[in-house]
Structure 1
Amino acid sequence: MIRLVASDMDGTLLNPWGKISPLNVAAIRALRRKNIDFVVCTGRGFADASSPLKEAGISCDIICMNGAAVFDSSGKQLRKQPMSRNQIRRILDICRSFPVLYDFMTENGSYTTSDVKTFRKSFEDGIFLPMVSKEHSYETIARRFQFTTEEALLNSPFDIYKMSVVHENPEVLKHLRLFLEQEDALSVASSDSSNLELTHTGAQKGTALLEYAQNAGIHPREILAIGDSENDLSMLKLPLGYTVAMENASEAVKRKARLMTRSNHADGVAAAIEALILSEAAAAG
């Protein structure tokens, strides 16, 4: 019996315009009526994850920044696993010879060390944050970022939970990844061909989801997890009740997940919930 559904956001729960469809909303509400919990597992920060949920009238706990932090539905932080300053310095040293851009996700919002002109061009060319390009204009994205220097960021008092390294050429990122994966206590994943997402090894969706479920007294076999990109693999490779790939998922995700649902254009989350939990066949199960 499934007692918890864990869903990625971009490319999964959200449609290409960053919205939660009426059918997905209805499926989540149907879960609640059956006393089945729903949690979001996303690479987004808390504020960016909360916004589409609030717009859709959904209140749920959020595993965010690939598991680096967990918040309950009221916004109370339940878990955090930031990166160390020394770890970030080593990453910057490794990346220094590559012409990459950075997105630093912190407890004080998002920061970049890019100049404004380069940042704008990268976003408008669909390289920086391509998954939200239909959801936001450059102006709304720029308001979410603070422009800073490496020195100021490293000397700041707030925690840094996640770094995204961005480049238009996947081959550059592939080469860079070989160096980054040699670093101790560093998790390297990706949500798009133009980025690498870096967190502490203790900050992965799978790790955070298992801890979250354990705290709620839920066995892994009582979990359904669904996602579309590489940063979802840490939860989709777990021995859960069901692991589901979106039709629009990467090939690596499709190979790892046990089942596949429709795309995020076509209410794939709702389809999976209906088929595996809500339907008469699932109930008879």
Structure 2
Amino acid sequence: MYKLIACDLDETLLNDDTHVGKRNRKAIAAVTKMGVKFVPATGRGFKAITQTLQEINLIDQPNEYVISFNGGCITENKDNQVMKFQGLSWQMANQLYQLGQKYDVCIHVYTKDMLYVYNTNKEENKYINGRHVYRIIDNDNLDFLKGQEIAKELYGNPNMPYLKEIAADLGDLTNELDVSYSSNRYLEFNHQGVNKGAGLLWLARKLGIKPEETMALGDNFNDLSMIKAAGLGVGMANTNPEMKDQCDFITTADNNHDGVAEAIERFVLQK
């Protein structure tokens, strides 16, 4: 039996309007009642998913957890207690920030409490509204964040081939980072070895759960590490085609039609 379900949010659990569908909510309530841990695993910060935790009735609950910042932070929902945090050094974050200004990208810099966005536009603002509390900046560097804990950074552009060109152009620098892609618009940078898969395995060990007793659901490359690490890795129907063959199962329903519930019903509730 699966005892822990790690689930991506955007384009997986959430529909395009950033809400949890009724069938998904019902399935999550059923497994939670069984004692299964349902763990949101997101690239966003843990304080940015309050709406989702409210919708699935896990807000401020003890012994329930969130994997955030692509595995950079693991928290217990009760009082947002940080159990583990591993972010970027200020030096690395500042280097990425200044390099990013050479490219046609928006730049996101995440601290525990705030998202700072450089070079945004109307399309980007439309996407992040409702997903983040953010502040627009135009600084040349990140001197204003010295001494603060920086969780991760990313470059945004809806042209994915262009983002892959940037990753190649960064060369050896990417060897010092954990690099992934998300939402078909972001090139993400975490501390080396920090990813959702590592976060899932760390939390499972903490809870005394075996890797084969875990299930992971996602749709894009920042989810692939946990899809491969879990006992069962599930991709949504809308999963990036380039990684579908690395999933154990692909749902017939996409994120707008409760694909998460489809997988939970089949493999956990066994309907």
Amino acid at match of 2:84: R
**Cα offset, 1:169, TM superposition:** 3.1
Question: For residue 22 of structure 1, what is the aligned residue in structure 2?
Answer: 22
- Identify if the C-alpha distance between structure 1 residues 181 and 8 changes in structure 2 by more than 3 Å, giving closer, same or farther: farther
Amino acid at match of 1:2: Y
Give the TM-score taking structure 2 as reference length. 0.89
Question: For residue 10 of structure 1, what is the aligned residue in structure 2?
Answer: 10
Question: For residue 159 of structure 2, what is the aligned residue in structure 1?
Answer: 169
The equivalent position to 1:144 in structure 2, one of 124, 131, 134, is: 134
- Identify if the C-alpha distance between structure 1 residues 97 and 3 changes in structure 2 by more than 3 Å, giving closer, same or farther: same
* Alpha-carbon contact 1:7-1:226 (below 8 Å) kept: yes
3-state SS of the aligned residue for 1:278? coil
* Alpha-carbon contact 2:90-2:146 (below 8 Å) kept: no
* Match runs of 1:43-54 below 5 Å: 43-54=43-54
3-state SS of the aligned residue for 1:6? strand
Aligned residue pair count: 264
Unaligned stretches of 5+ residues in structure 2: none
**Cα offset, 1:150, TM superposition:** 4.0
Question: For residue 122 of structure 2, what is the aligned residue in structure 1?
Answer: 121
- Rounded to whole Å, the distance in 2 between the matches of 1:57 and 1:246 is 23
Residues 1:84 and 2:89 are matched in the alignment: yes
- Rounded to whole Å, the distance in 1 between the matches of 2:260 and 2:231 is 16
* Alpha-carbon contact 2:156-2:186 (below 8 Å) kept: yes
**Cα offset, 1:167, TM superposition:** 2.4
- Rounded to whole Å, the distance in 1 between the matches of 2:261 and 2:171 is 36
* Alpha-carbon contact 2:5-2:214 (below 8 Å) kept: yes
- Identify if the C-alpha distance between structure 1 residues 155 and 16 changes in structure 2 by more than 3 Å, giving closer, same or farther: closer
After the TM superposition, which parts of structure 1 deviate over 6 Å for at least 4 consecutive aligned residues?
A: none
The equivalent position to 2:179 in structure 1, one of 180, 184, 188, is: 188
**Cα offset, 1:197, TM superposition:** 0.9
Unaligned stretches of 5+ residues in structure 1: 281-285
- Rounded to whole Å, the distance in 1 between the matches of 2:52 and 2:159 is 30
**Cα offset, 1:253, TM superposition:** 2.9
Amino acid at match of 2:241: E
Residues 1:275 and 2:235 are matched in the alignment: no
* Alignment root-mean-square deviation, CA: 2.1
- Identify if the C-alpha distance between structure 1 residues 34 and 193 changes in structure 2 by more than 3 Å, giving closer, same or farther: closer
* Match runs of 1:23-102 below 5 Å: 23-59=23-59, 60-74=64-78, 75-102=80-107
**Cα offset, 1:168, TM superposition:** 4.1
**Cα offset, 1:187, TM superposition:** 1.1
Q: Which moved more, 1:20-29 or 1:212-221?
A: 20-29
- Identify if the C-alpha distance between structure 1 residues 147 and 36 changes in structure 2 by more than 3 Å, giving closer, same or farther: same
3-state SS of the aligned residue for 1:15? coil
- Identify if the C-alpha distance between structure 1 residues 63 and 34 changes in structure 2 by more than 3 Å, giving closer, same or farther: same
- Identify if the C-alpha distance between structure 1 residues 212 and 180 changes in structure 2 by more than 3 Å, giving closer, same or farther: farther
